[in-house]
Structure 1
C-alpha cells in the first residue's frame, strides 16, 4: 500500500513539473559586444533535426551519443546552426563545438523543447516560447520556437527564429501545426516588425499538402523561402490532393523538405541567397550511415546594410 501511495505521489509530481515545464518562458538579454564595423558579409546557416530522443525512442538508425559527437564537430563549419530534437545528448553535441555563442539547453525529455542554436556571432538576446497547441505524442514535450537577436557587426543585428512544429499528417495534427504557424506569425509581427529575419527549422509542413498552411504563413510574415527561390524557379508548389511526402533521407535539392530556411529583408538590410543544399554527404558516420533521420539543410547568404542616402 505504501509503495502504491509513493508511486502515486511520484506520478503527480511528474505531471506538475511537466506542466510547469511546458509553460516556462525563458528570456534573457545580454550585453552587446564591441565588434568592428562592417556593412556586408557572408553567412553559412544550417537547420538540422538531429533525432536526439533517447536511444530506444529515436527513429534514427545510428547510436545516438556517438552520432551527436560527430554532428557537433561537423557543425563547426557553419556560422549559425539551428538544431531541433536536441534532447538527451546535449553534452555530446556541444563537446567539440567551437562556436563561441550557444543557447542554454532547456533539458532532456520530457522537460526540454529540443531547440538549440550555435553561432559564431554574438547572441544578444534569446527567448523560448512553447506552442499553445499540440496533438498526440507532440504534447509529451514542450515543443515550440526560440528567438535570438544576433549581432553581425558593431551596430547591425538580425532576428533568428528556430522552430519545431507539430508532426504527422492527420487532420488533428495538421490543425495543431497550423495553429503553431499562426502563433509564430503573430509573434514575428509583435516582436520583429520590419526587422531582417532568418526563420529556420523543422516545419513538418509542405506547400503541396493542403492540410498545411505554409503559403499563408509565408504571406503573413513576408518571408522568402530559399528553396523556392533557388531550386523551384521561384514558384510555390501547388496543392496536391494526393500528396505523399517523400522519405526524408531520400531528398535531393529538387524536392521540398520539411526542414526549411526562410528570410526577410528590410529597406536597409538585404540578404541575397547564393546556395541551397541538402547536406546528403556531410553528416554521416565512419561507415557512411546518416547521423539522423533528417538531412541537414544548408544556405549560403550574402548580406549588406545601407544607410539612408
Structure 2
C-alpha cells in the first residue's frame, strides 16, 4: 500500500529588523509570534536574524532568539552568522539572509545562496530598498517526511523596491533560483515559499525592463522549474500577494495542496494589530509515496 501523510506549511515574513528599521514592532511582537508557530508543521521564516553575543549591533538588536526560545520544534536551522560588513564581496552587508526553518520533520543538507545582485544601501536617495544591507537570497533543505520520502524545501526573500534597477534584479533573482533548482533538485519533489516581492496581479509597468512585469517573471520561473503556484490548484482570495507558495511532485512523491490561507486572525495582538507588516501564509498539503521495499 502507498504511504500517505499531511503537513501544514507556514511562510511568514516576521519583520524582524531592529525596531528602528522594522516596518513593525518586533520588540513587542516577536515574543508573541513564537508560540503561535507551534500549530504548524513546516515553518519558513523571512526577516529573522539571531543577535550575536557579544552584540556588535548594540544598542540595536535582532530577534530570532525570541522565536527560538518559544517554539517546540525539534528541528531548526542554524541562523547564518551576521557579516557585519566583513564580507569583501558585499561590504555594505550588515545582516545575513534572515531565512530560517522550523520543522516537525528532520532536515539536513542546508544550503544558503545569496542573490548575485542587489540594489540600495543605507543611502536610499536613489530609491533602492536597502537590499545590499543584508545577504538576501534563498535557503534549501532536504526535509524527510517519512522513511525514504525526501522533499527539497526552499525558503526565499527576493529583491524589494520598485525602481527599474530593482525590477531588473528581481528577474535575475528568479533566473538564478530556477537555474539552482534545475541542478540541485533535478528529479526531486519541491516545496517552495517565501516573500517573492512580485506583485503578480498588477498591470505591467510600461517602463519595466522585462517589458512584461512581475507576473511574467513568476510565470517564467514556474515554467522553467516545473513548479505550480498553489493558487493555480486551490484558488486563492489574493493570488497576486507577494507571499507565495509553489510545489512540484517528483520521484514517486505526490504533493497536493489542500488550501491557501492568510492567517489574518491568528497572528494579531489583543488590540487587533498585525504582528508583522506581512500576513502569514498557511498551506496544508497531503503527500503520498510508494510503499517501502
Task: Tell me if structure 1 keeps the 8 A contact 2:140–2:152.
Answer: yes
CA distance in 2, matches of 1:101, 1:43: 15
Matched, 1:295 2:279: yes
Aligned to 1:218: 222
95, 102, 105: which one aligns with 1:111: 95
CA distance in 1, matches of 2:213, 2:164: 7
Q: CA deviation at 1:287?
A: 1.5
CA distance in 1, matches of 2:31, 2:14: 11
Aligned to 2:106: 122
Task: Tell me if structure 1 keeps the 8 A contact 2:3–2:291.
Answer: no
CA distance in 2, matches of 1:256, 1:207: 5
Closer/same/farther in 2, CA of residues 140 and 262 from structure 1, 3 Å limit? same
CA distance in 2, matches of 1:181, 1:133: 12
SS in 2 for 1:275: coil
Task: Tell me if structure 1 keeps the 8 A contact 2:200–2:242.
Answer: no
Task: Tell me if structure 2 keeps the 8 A contact 1:39–1:304.
Answer: yes
Q: How does 1:1-309 map to 2 (within 5 A)?
A: 39-60=3-24, 63-87=25-49, 88-108=62-82, 110-136=94-120, 137-208=130-201, 209=204, 210-212=212-214, 213-231=217-235, 253-266=237-250, 268-306=252-290
CA distance in 2, matches of 1:44, 1:307: 22
Structure 2 residue runs of 5 or longer lacking an equivalent are 50-61, 85-93, 121-129, 205-211
CA distance in 1, matches of 2:143, 2:292: 22
Task: Tell me if structure 2 keeps the 8 A contact 1:206–1:214.
Answer: no
- Answer 1 or 2: which has greater helix percent: 1
- TM-score under structure 2 normalisation? 0.82
CA distance in 1, matches of 2:33, 2:134: 23
Q: Which runs of 4+ in 1 moved over 4 A?
A: none
CA distance in 1, matches of 2:292, 2:223: 27
Q: CA deviation at 1:65?
A: 2.4
Aligned to 1:4: none
Give the length in aligned residue pairs.
Answer: 251
CA distance in 1, matches of 2:255, 2:144: 15
Task: Tell me if structure 1 keeps the 8 A contact 2:188–2:251.
Answer: no
Partner deviation per Cα, 1:97-124 (whole Å, 9 max, x = no partner): 1010010112457231100110000012
- TM-score under structure 1 normalisation? 0.77
CA distance in 2, matches of 1:267, 1:142: 32
Task: Tell me if structure 2 keeps the 8 A contact 1:38–1:154.
Answer: no
Task: Tell me if structure 2 keeps the 8 A contact 1:99–1:120.
Answer: yes
Q: CA deviation at 1:38?
A: 7.9
CA distance in 2, matches of 1:258, 1:133: 20
CA distance in 2, matches of 1:58, 1:50: 10
CA distance in 2, matches of 1:126, 1:204: 23
Q: CA deviation at 1:308?
A: 11
CA distance in 1, matches of 2:134, 2:11: 20
CA distance in 2, matches of 1:266, 1:259: 24
Structure 1 residue runs of 5 or longer lacking an equivalent are 1-36, 233-252
